[in-house]
Structure 1
Amino acid sequence: MRRKEISIQKGENVLLDGPSKLEVLTGEIEIYGKILKRGENVIVRKDKRVAIIPHVSSTLRITSGRFFLTEDEVIPSNWVKTCERVSELRRGESALIIGKADSGKSTLAIYLINKLLEKKERIFFLEGDIGQPEIWVPTTISGIFLERGVIDLEGYFPSFMEFVGDITPRKVYRRNIRLITFLNKCGKEEAPVIINSDGWIRNGGLEHKIKLARQMNPQFIISFLSERLNSDFKEIGRVIEVNRPKYIKRRGMKERKERRKRKYWKAFSSAVLDTIEIKDLKIELAEIGREIKYEKVRKVFERDKLRGILCGLYGEGKCIGVGRIIEMNEGSITLSVNYIKKEKIEGMVLGNIIIDSEFNEWRVSWEDKIV
């Protein structure tokens, strides 16, 4: 395993691509607003890039990964100014981040969280990107209370979760807006909220974001979009326009699919196998948004070979986990389950995504199958 020690001065920034391990041997550095001092370390996962800013002369040990030095600005100046404005957020208030894919939304969210935690005891982060979530499983949105700074939210366990049922809001946009608004309300009761959104902007995506913003009524709308596209948002809240950093990596469709595959594997490779009786079980279709009889669903499941379809599991009136259906029998359903809280399953919402035995994903439309 390749290791290298480097010395950097204030004004010399480092961009590090994972997978890698970074150790601070001397000095003090900052990564997206989080301070790391001598003796501290961080793991940079595959497909992630971090920007390292030394506060003083520092020595770093880098294990694996690729890095390069730059004197260019790695945190845009308007990000710093945005933090100053958003720092006035109080409990009961929120800031919504919008922008195209690969614009830097998730990175800005982490930067804001870290800077706000310098002044606030607690922040609620709401992950609203169902296709490339930082937390939990694709097809879901989730929220987490944070009291300490973070560099990467991968692997964090959500405080709240909701199953949307797809990897894009296109066919489930009403459900998407309703559930993000609900989780925002849950978080606002206890802390200021930072909301990350998906990158769907074209072909109806902008209208979806406008409807989302109107429903949520955030104090700030932090936008990576152009001034022209931001005009409708200015009627809703205070719009702060920010720039995309030069160093943000662009990911193609293949890379995005591979990242989702890794998340599916992590969620279901060691999931609990459970069998639930269908008696008194309410079944809803995410795409259609209504309850449907079990026998009708089972008939389509067997006819169209929908083994592996993802579903949201509900108990005590809230989402308690995500399941992958293995079998639908006459009186029971067998599925692998990743619970966030073990409760009796009282309801199930079927989504539009199938995960096969190799954790590859396939999309299915219930609208074409259920009449």
Structure 2
Amino acid sequence: MSTAKVRMVKGPATVAVDGACHVLGSDVSGQTITVRAGKALPFEPSGRCRLRARLGRGGRMWLADPTSAGTSMWRGLAQQVLAGGKKITIMLAGDTDTGKSTLATYLANMALERRLVPCIVDGDIGQGDLAPPASIGAAALSKQVTDLRDVSASLFEFVGNTSPAGFEHLVAKKLRSILERAGPLGDICIVNTDGYVRGGGIQYKLMIAQELRPDVIVCIGENPELLDAFRNGSWQVLHTKASSQASKSGYERKSRRLDQFLRHVGSGSSAAELSRVKFTYMGRLFSPSELRIPPIVQLEPENMKGMFVGLGLNSQVVGFGIITDITPSSIYIRTDVNSFDRVYLSNIRLGRDRAIEIKIA
């Protein structure tokens, strides 16, 4: 295989690597790599290398130009932000499908290569990798990875909506909270944000930057207005090319989002007495007694059944679930969490067949 090209593989697929090869900076030589449905990974060979791909339905494999795919276009950026070897926070900002998650993975792998411990904060509440939709997750990485969905997050925050529009201040506040807790876990913190950067999204991203006060902001792709918005801050602003490997169809996005919901909910069940549980929605606390005359639609029993929720214990989000039933005395939740004292409500119900996401008006 020629080293002048990048071999892209879109899942579902498994790829057996025979020879020297890297994926997003991770050495995958001699390994078999699984590529999830809807995910595209760049295989970058060095020397003689043979790839044997088994493609599932919708999977494909193609040669790509290294100037717009793979990691060579980001090599200089990684060297620049990691050169000092000091503790820094990097914020990634860019439109949907520009490769923010891909770049976050690559930077984390390059940090590990330099024996730095990277911590990733995933603030994409619509299409995140470290947490289910409507949530924020963070994790310190101890080894290189090719897909952040293989990483188990250790910290969570719950927002309750899959779009930041109307929830901008809450998202910024939750990001700051999780960054404060995640910072001590690593040498370098990489904050990935959502793709809302058009119109009001620019001011929203500036709000996030002002909350987080990162050392470096990396703007991905062509968006002069976004670059200009960051110019007068205390941080360093860098610009880099978007990745052509990042595009996903609407169906792929929906499928990956549903997979994230169900993966974090699990298949267990748990129940709690309502008298022992408090409810939170958009940062506002509600007591069980308010269920009798609900002040918000999210507390109406018909809306709570099937609702995707966060579960808290001692003021920390410890997991997620789906409300299966609620009675005057108890609440029943599909979840792998055994103990909780708080339920974080959302605007999301999952349909009976778990295949559709229903917004609560």
- Normalised by the size of structure 2, how large is the TM-score? 0.90
Identify which range, 64-73 or 222-231, moves more after superposition.
64-73
Uncovered stretches (5+) of structure 1, i.e. residues with no partner? 1-7, 366-371
Moved more, 58-67 or 297-306: 297-306
Q: Kindly indicate whether residue 357 of structure 2 is the aligned counterpart of residue 357 of structure 1.
A: no
Describe the SS at the equivalent of 2:27.
Answer: strand
How far did 1:303 drift? 6.2
2:208 matches 1:212: yes
Match among 130, 133, 140 for residue 138 of structure 1: 133
1:69 CA drift (Å): 2.3
Which shifted more, 191-200 or 73-82?
Answer: 73-82
Structure 1 residue aligned with 2:263: 266
**Deviations 1:77-106 (Å, cap 9, x if unpaired)?**
551111011114656521000111111111
Amino acid across the alignment from 2:231 = K
Does 2:175 match 1:180?
A: yes
Instruction: Report the Cα distance in structure 2 between the residues aligned to 1:338 and 1:168, rounded to whole angstroms.
Output: 26
Partner-residue secondary structure (3-state), 1:171 = coil
Query: CA contact under 8 A between 1:354 and 1:361: conserved in structure 2?
Result: yes
Map of 1:60-209 to 2, 5 A cutoff? 60-64=51-55, 65-73=59-67, 74-75=69-70, 78-88=73-83, 92-191=87-186, 192-209=188-205
Q: Relative to 1, partners in 2 of residues 1:276 and 1:136: Cα closer, same or farther, differing over 3 Å?
A: same
Cα deviation code 1:272-298 (max 9, x no counterpart): 211111224221212xx3122324346
Could you tell me the percent identity over the aligned residues?
Answer: 25
Q: Distance in 1 between matches of 2:345 and 2:304?
A: 11
Residue in 2 that maps onto 1:14: 7
Match of 2:26 in 1: 34
Q: Distance in 2 between matches of 1:67 and 1:35?
A: 20
Query: 2:66–2:72: 8 Å Cα contact kept in structure 1?
Result: no
The whole-number CA distance in structure 2 between the counterparts of 1:18 and 1:161 is 28
Alignment deviations for residues 163-188 of structure 1 (CA, whole Å, 9 cap, x no partner)? 11110112322221111111111121
Q: Is the 8 A contact 1:315 1:346 kept in 2?
A: yes
Displaced runs of 4+ in structure 1, greater than 6 A? none
Candidates 229, 233, 247, aligned match of 2:230:
233
State the alpha-carbon separation in 2 of the partners of residues 121 and 107 from structure 1.
19
The 2-side partners of 1:77 and 1:131 are apart by 28
Aligned counterparts of 1:329 and 1:96: Cα–Cα separation in 2:
44
- C-alpha deviation, 1:264, in angstroms: 2.3
Find the aligned partners of 1:12 and 1:229 in 2 and give their Cα distance.
Answer: 31
Deviation, 1:41, is 1.5
8 Å Cα contact 2:25/2:71 also seen in 1: no
Cα distance change on mapping 1:76 and 1:20 into 2, 3 Å: closer
Runs of 5+ unmatched residues, structure 2: none
What is the CA-CA distance between 1:232 and the residue it aligns to? Answer: 2.0
Residue type of the partner of 2:285? E
Residue 254 of structure 2 corresponds to residue 257 of structure 1: yes
How well do the aligned residues superpose, as a CA RMSD in angstroms?
2.0
Find the counterpart in structure 1 of residue 316 from structure 2. Answer: 318
**Contact 2:135 / 2:158 at 8 angstroms: preserved in 1?**
yes
